[in-house]
Structure 1
Amino acid sequence: MSLLSIEDHPGGVRLLTLDRAPVNAFNLELMAAVSDAFREVAATPEIRAVVISGSGPVFSAGLDFKAMMKVSAEGPEAAQHFARTMHQAFIDIWTCTCPTIAAVNGSSIAAGYLIGAACDFRIVAEGPGEHGLNEIQFGGGFPAIAVEIGRSVMGPRIIQSLLSGELFDWNGGVENGSFTSSETPGALRTKALDTARQLGEFPQPAYAHAKAQLLAPFTERVMAESEEQKRKTDAIFASEETLASLMKHMQNVLKKS
């Protein structure tokens, strides 16, 4: 079964829909599917813009904790592969040369938030839902790409958001720069597709060049992350304290479900 629905719309717009019920949480396979989809976009000139959204009432609740725990139990090589696959998915979205629009149809948390934040324009549904980076609450480490994607949309506000781990609603997300605009749930998809079609009409070389220049301060810091820094982040996820906190968090989630 496909974890990522792909549809083509008029104007060279490709719609990608995360489709891993119940909350579109990312495991290794979904992250790889996202990367593959954006690489296909890069290799297909007829695709002028991309919209990414989520199936059901949630955009994405982040990483699949059960998958993370399983990977941690398999050893450091498996954990490193998981982390690098996640990194590549973020990079492939963030550096896509054509216009990218996130239609954030519900909660977008942690890795789910970053998937949306990596897009050029981020339209959020007005209504219930939580958004943001809460990893610090359960001991998760922050690779450079997570910090820089967050910084690219929030600016200095990323400091308080990241260190507090507090989530915010759609209106708070518009105020802090996480989302560029909001829309009613019923009109969200149409608005995103219309925006993508309009942006796709721009000359692509100019758009790609401007985008690369705007992102350069952030992407350069990501590229400068050393292997030692990456190992330190991996070690945080593998630490006993983090694993114990993750287990407690999973138990709380299961109690609520």
Structure 2
Amino acid sequence: MLNLTTHDAITEINMARPPVNALNVDLLRAVRDAVDDALNAGTRGIVLSGAQGLFSAGVDVPALLGRDRAGVREYWREFFLTCSKLALSPVPVVASITGHSPAGGAVLSLFCDYRVMAEGPFRIGLNEVQVGLVVPECIQMALRRVVGAYRAERLLVAGAMIESSQALACGFVDELAGLEQVTTRALHWMNGLLALPSHAMLNTRALARADLIAVWSDVDALPIDQFVDAYFHPETQAVLQQLVARLKKKD
């Protein structure tokens, strides 16, 4: 489910759940555990990567549709806990976006310090509206920090999926690289950061991320129940059922 690689002082957490790195409970927990293990081992930086051509397809919708309300709430709490783990990381985290990154995959990248994306016809975005989901304020806030309020509104309300070049232009990602060089560039950026005086860098980073940390420090204070209510709205359920039906036809 994960491939872990140590690059000197940096730990790469590579998501490896074929075929599309769909985020189920097990993968979400595995990522959190890997972050904890890396920190306990003294890592100074983390790179979160995916498969070539696909960082993560986001939420495992077929598995989620089979759950009752308690199960759905458990899932979203696990998802928010993973976002929180990245947001509150005491060391820098880089998202190595190795291809398409819709919805949940894009969300995880927002909590990283820096985003390197594969150049070419790869798309990224929070397309939740297109599948009937409401994007909660705590995630909207994370996108606003990255692209600004107006651009975030336009992207979120449309549920837009944008190509890598447009993502770079609007600040959604920080850098583009050839498909096979994405993680290399992520490591290069991290090494540059780690070459700085660590006390000054880490404390400045903590101050700069204080707004994100404040929102995400207590996951159980987030509006999970409100989000679950919206998930069970009839329109949302109908759109998600149609999505799963299309996925089954592709199989």
Question: Quick check: 1:141–1:233 contact (8 Å CA) kept in 2?
Answer: yes
- The aligned residue for residue 148 of structure 1 is 141
- What aligned pairs does 1:164-203 form with structure 2 within 5 A after superposition? 164-203=158-197
Compute the RMSD of aligned alpha carbons: 2.0
Q: CA deviation at 1:38?
A: 1.4
Q: Which residue in 1 is equivalent to 2:7?
A: 9
Q: Tell me how far apart the structure 2 counterparts of residues 48 and 223 of structure 1 sit (CA, whole Å).
A: 21
Give the aligned residue type for 1:234. V
The match for 1:104 among 97, 102, 111 is: 97
User: Which AA in structure 2 matches 1:28?
Assistant: V
Q: How far off its partner does 1:200 sit?
A: 2.3
Aligned length: 250
Say whether 1:255 aligns with 2:234.
Answer: no
Q: 1:69 — aligned with what?
A: 65
Query: Equivalents in 2 of 1:28, 1:153: separation in Å?
Result: 27
Residue identity in the other structure for 2:2: L
For residues 228 and 200 of structure 1, what CA distance do their matches in structure 2 show?
32
Secondary structure at the counterpart of residue 98 of structure 1: coil
Q: Deviations over 1:117-166 (max 9, x none)?
A: 21111111111211100101121122333212211211111101000011
CA distance in 2 between counterparts of 1:225 and 1:52 reads 21
* Residue number in structure 2 paired with 1:94: 87
For 1:228 and 1:42, the matched residues in 2 are separated by 25
Q: Deviation string for 1:77-111 (max 9, x for gaps)?
A: 22111111100101111221212111111001111
In structure 2, C-alpha distance between the alignment counterparts of 1:204 and 1:95, rounded to whole Å: 17
Q: 2:51 aligns with which of 52, 55, 60?
A: 55
TM-superposed CA distance for 1:58, in Å, is 0.3
Helix, strand or coil for the counterpart of 2:4? strand
Give, in whole Å, the separation in 2 of the partners of 1:13 and 1:136: 36
Preserved contact between residue 98 and residue 207 of structure 1 (Cα < 8 Å): no
Answer yes or no: is 1:34 the counterpart of 2:25: no
Identity of aligned residues (%): 26
* Partner of residue 238 from structure 1, selected from 232, 235, 243: 232
Matched residue of 1:232: which SS? helix
Shift of the 225–59 alpha-carbon distance from structure 1 to 2, 3 Å rule, reads closer
- Within 2, Cα distance between the matches of 1:78 and 1:208? 38
Contact 1:16 1:52 in 2 (8 A): yes
Higher strand share: 2
1:220 to 214, 230, 233: 214
1: CA distance between counterparts of 2:249 and 2:75?
A: 27
Matches of 1:225 and 1:29, distance apart in 2: 18
The unaligned stretches of length 5 or more in structure 1 are none
The partner residue of 2:201 within 188, 207, 215 is 207
Q: Which residue in the other structure is 1:160 paired with? A: 154
Change (3 A) 1:208 1:174: same
Secondary structure of the 1:17 match is: strand
* Kept after mapping to 1: 8 A contact 2:49/2:55: yes
Alpha-carbon offset, residue 115 of structure 1: 1.4
Q: What secondary structure sits across from 1:107 in the alignment?
A: strand
Q: 1:36 and 1:225 mapped to 2: Cα distance?
A: 17
Are the aligned partners of 1:87 and 1:145 in contact in 2 as well (CA < 8 Å)? Answer: no
Stretch moving more, 129-138 or 33-42? 33-42
Task: Give the CA deviation at 1:37.
Answer: 1.3
Q: Which amino acid in 2 is paired with 1:37?
A: A
Matched residues in 1 for 2:14 and 2:218: separation?
32
- Cα deviations across residues 24-60 of structure 1 (Å, max 9, x unaligned)? 1100000111111112233232x11111110232001
Structure 2 gaps of 5+ residues are none
Query: Given that residues 76 and 224 in structure 2 are in contact (C-alpha distance below 8 angstroms), is that contact kept between their aligned partners in structure 1?
Result: no
- Give the aligned residue type for 1:192: A
- TM-score after normalising by structure 2: 0.92
AA paired with 1:60?
S
| Separation (CA, whole Å) in 2 of partners of 1:22 and 1:128 | 19
State the shift of 1:114 in Å: 1.2
- Cα offset, 1:175, TM superposition: 1.2
